[in-house]
Amino acid sequence: MNKSELADAVAAAADLSKADGARALDAVIDSITNALKSGDTVSLVGFGTFQVKQRNARQGRNPRTGETIQIAASKVPSFKAGKGLKDAVN
């Protein structure tokens, strides 16, 4: 399922027009993104938790040359599925 199909599904489930469903989905994605940018955690009970994790600097190898390179530290978004989502999938 891609983003437009998800927006259509949201619209059908909430009895909205397709345009309103797309705007609602965009608003949710923007809200989660802005919360993660500011360092907050987004927790949706039964669905899961979005958070930002710190990845430490490390050494790696260039696969083409075999040369050792330094990989900088970075922040990465993370999602941990909640119990309700895990149970629904199983």
Q: Residues 14-73: pLDDT tens digits?
A: 999 999 999 999 999 999 999 999 999 999 999 999 999 999 999 999 999 999 999 999
User: Domain boundaries in the chain?
Assistant: 1-40, 41-90
CATH architecture group of domain 41-90:
Irregular (4.10)
- pTM for the model stands at 0.82
Closest CA to 49 of 37, 41, 40, 59: 41
